[in-house]
């Protein structure tokens, strides 16, 4: 079992590195937040909060705990983002870590609570939970034993739950180890490396899947062993994240998980590679012990509830859900085997249609798949989910199409190519396609990275004078 006094170096540096992750989280909003949830955005924050205040006036602060209740216009949104960027840099520089972590937690929490469809990703909650534990860690030179147990158990729980949900889903593609063979093509935003890896033989994909399960479901249990074994666990965790990063674009998730895994590095190892021991003083702190014990206890309940669901435990944990404490983790429980893409088109006459192109999700067949993480283009990401639900159920997408008809500048900035730069189109529609990677030969002959087959309309054709019908 680890000795907390052997981890004072990483306890000193990890809060700084968390600042780098928060910078990756806040920075993209400088270019996106107005188009997503601004005054003339797709889902305006002011409209969202006004609706909550009207329908649930007594519960509005618990439903959407955010600073934007004071003010929710573009200036307020950008102020929070800029403040987040500044605090991230200050934390990265090691300036008042506890204060900076607390401010970052509040600022990002405010954006998550107001972000609606565009901020419902698991890594948002993971970051907030890591930050809460790191805040407690930063309050003492020598890690408090209960805080250290909590933050280590969070790393353990994140990996085990991520692997477990794939088996619990009973998806046959995970059971027969073929799921990742589809993943490279069907993931939200593939990169060029995925185009090549997709073409490797099935034995490679099955071996990759087996290794992933081994690292997520077996290796975490060795996290609580000796220091040397913990170093090996760290290497495997980081290696898995590097491979996922190399073949995909998952926002800052891989970077955050890799950096989080570094809490397994002990003083002896870090001194060997050039880090020096900080000056520390160890004094008992009952408040930290109590706070760490509460977080550790809640995590134990969450872990138990994942495998042995209980209504009582679920009810207890749900009281903390709005604060993103003790979250449930796991993505891609069901593997998407076919890549469906919704392509938006505009027209001036209802006969000739021109295509809008997103920055990073596949639309243009000739455009090379890009590597963009840790930057997350949230409109592109959200559009990936469209084929799984009917047009009538996607209010954000209906609003998005309306903004294109209106020619709203903040929303148009979220797109790479607007075929109606002079004036907005009269009509708009969305078509559904099946997208597939081209073969080596097809790529050589045509220069295309993608090929596609039309499935049919995803939305009706409509204009500002007509309402879209489901």
3-state SS track over 98-159: HHHHHHHHHHHHHHHHHCHHHHCCHHHHHHHHHHHHHHHHCCCCCCCHHHHHHHHHHHHHHH
Angle at 101 between CA 84 and CA 380, to 5 degrees: 45
Residue 304 corresponds to which tokens in the numbers above? 């138990």
Return d(Cα 467, Cα 345) in angstroms, integer. 17
3-state secondary structure of 85: helix
| Torsion, Cα of 179, 180, 184, 185 (10° steps) | -20
- What gap in Å lies between CA 419 and CA 306, rounded to an integer? 48
Lookup result for tokens 């909550």: 52
Element (H, E) at 326: none
Phi first, then psi: give them for residue 151, nearest 5 degrees. -70, -35
The CA radius of gyration of the chain, in Å to the nearest whole number, is 24
Residue-wise pLDDT tens digits, 298-340:
999 999 999 998 888 888 888 877 778 888 888 888 899 999 9
CB atoms within 10 A of CB 305: 18
Check residue 74 and give its pLDDT.
96
**Of residues 208, 219, 217, 216, the one with CA closest to residue 243:** 208
Specify the pLDDT at position 90: 98
DSSP state of 329: -
Side-chain-facing half-sphere of 169: CA atoms under 13 Å: 19
* pLDDT number for residue 467: 63
**Residue 275 near residue 9, CB atoms below 8 Å:** yes
Strands 339-347 and 427-437 come out as: antiparallel
Percentage of the residues of the chain whose pLDDT score is greater than 90: 85
* Per-residue model confidence (pLDDT) at position 48: 96
Residue 425 has pLDDT above 80, yes or no: yes
Average pLDDT value for residue range 160-167:
93
Cα(245)–Cα(256) distance, rounded to whole angstroms? 11
**Of the given ranges (171-175, 228-232, 463-467), which has the lowest mean pLDDT?**
463-467
CB of 212 closer than 8 Å to CB of 180: yes
Rounded to whole angstroms, the maximal C-alpha distance in the chain is 76
* pLDDT tens digits for range 342-382: 999 999 999 999 999 999 999 999 999 999 999 999 999 99
The pLDDT value recorded for residue 469 is: 53
Residue 470 scores a pLDDT above 60? no
Give the per-residue pLDDT at 222. Answer: 96
pLDDT of residue 82: 98
Mean residue pLDDT across the chain? 94
**Tens-digit pLDDT profile for residues 127-154:** 999 999 999 999 998 999 999 999 999 9
**Cβ atoms of 461 and 428 closer than 8 Å:** yes
pLDDT at 242: 97
Please report which helix (H) or strand (E) contains residue 416, including its range.
strand 415-417
- Rounded CA separation 372/263 (Å): 26
Instruction: Give the count of beta carbons closer than 10 Å to the beta carbon of residue 276.
Output: 10
CA atoms of 412 and 408, how far apart (whole Å): 6
Sign of CA dihedral 90, 93, 99, 103: positive
Candidates 450, 428, 424; CA nearest to 437 is: 450
Indicate the DSSP class of residue 190.
Answer: -
User: Residue 116 pLDDT more than 60?
Assistant: yes
CA dihedral 39, 45, 46, 51 (to 10 degrees): 140
Q: Reply yes or no on whether the pLDDT at 118 is more than 90.
A: yes
CA distance 198 to 210: 17
Cβ atoms of 326 and 317 closer than 8 Å: yes
Tell me which H or E stretch contains 431.
strand 427-437
pLDDT band at 20 (very low <50, low <70, confident <90, very high): very high
Residue 201, token pair as written in the block: 């033989």
């Amino acid at each position: 079992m680890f000795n907390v006094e052997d981890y004072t170096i990483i306890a000193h540096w990890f809060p700084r590195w968390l600042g780098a992750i928060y910078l990756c989280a806040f920075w993209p909003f400088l270019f996106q937040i107005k188009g997503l949830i601004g005054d003339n955005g797709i889902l305006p924050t002011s409209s969202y909060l006004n609706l909550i205040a009207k329908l649930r006036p007594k519960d509005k602060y618990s439903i959407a705990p955010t600073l934007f209740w004071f003010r929710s216009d573009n200036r307020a949104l950008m102020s929070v983002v800029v403040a987040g960027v500044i605090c991230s840099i200050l934390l990265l520089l090691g300036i008042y870590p506890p204060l900076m972590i607390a401010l970052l937690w509040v600022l990002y929490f405010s954006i998550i609570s107001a972000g609606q469809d565009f901020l419902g990703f698991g890594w948002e909650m993971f970051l907030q939970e890591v930050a809460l534990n790191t805040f407690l860690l930063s309050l003492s030179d020598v890690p408090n034993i209960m805080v250290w147990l909590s933050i280590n158990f969070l790393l353990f729980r994140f990996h085990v739950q991520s692997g477990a949900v794939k088996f619990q889903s009973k998806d046959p593609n995970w059971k027969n180890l073929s799921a990742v063979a589809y993943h490279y093509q069907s993931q939200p935003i593939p990169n060029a490396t995925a185009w090549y890896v997709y073409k490797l033989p099935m034995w490679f994909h099955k071996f990759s899947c087996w290794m992933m399960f081994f690292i997520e479901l077996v290796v975490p249990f060795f996290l609580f062993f000796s220091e040397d074994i913990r170093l090996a666990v760290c290497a495997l965790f980081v290696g898995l994240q590097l491979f996922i990063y190399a073949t995909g674009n998952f926002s800052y998730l891989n970077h955050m998980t890799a950096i989080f895994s570094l809490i397994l590095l002990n003083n002896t190892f870090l001194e060997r590679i050039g880090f020096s021991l900080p000056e520390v003083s160890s004094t008992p702190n009952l408040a930290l012990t109590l706070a760490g014990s509460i977080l550790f206890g809640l995590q134990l309940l969450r872990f138990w509830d994942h495998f042995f669901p209980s209504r009582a435990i679920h009810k207890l944990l749900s009281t903390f859900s709005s604060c993103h404490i003790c979250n449930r983790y796991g993505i891609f429980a069901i593997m998407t085997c076919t890549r469906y893409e919704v392509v938006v088109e505009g027209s001036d006459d209802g006969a000739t249609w021109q295509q809008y192109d997103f920055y990073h999700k596949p639309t243009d067949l000739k455009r090379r798949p890009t590597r963009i993480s840790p930057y997350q283009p949230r409109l592109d990401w959200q559009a990936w989910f469209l084929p799984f639900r009917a047009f009538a159920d996607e209010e954000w997408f209906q609003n998005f199409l309306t903004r294109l008809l209106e020619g709203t500048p903040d929303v148009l900035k979220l797109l790479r190519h607007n075929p109606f730069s002079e004036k907005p189109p009269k009509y708009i529609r969305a078509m559904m396609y099946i997208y597939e990677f081209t073969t080596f030969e097809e790529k050589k002959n045509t220069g295309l990275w993608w090929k596609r087959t039309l499935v049919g309309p995803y939305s009706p054709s409509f204009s500002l004078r007509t309402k879209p019908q489901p």
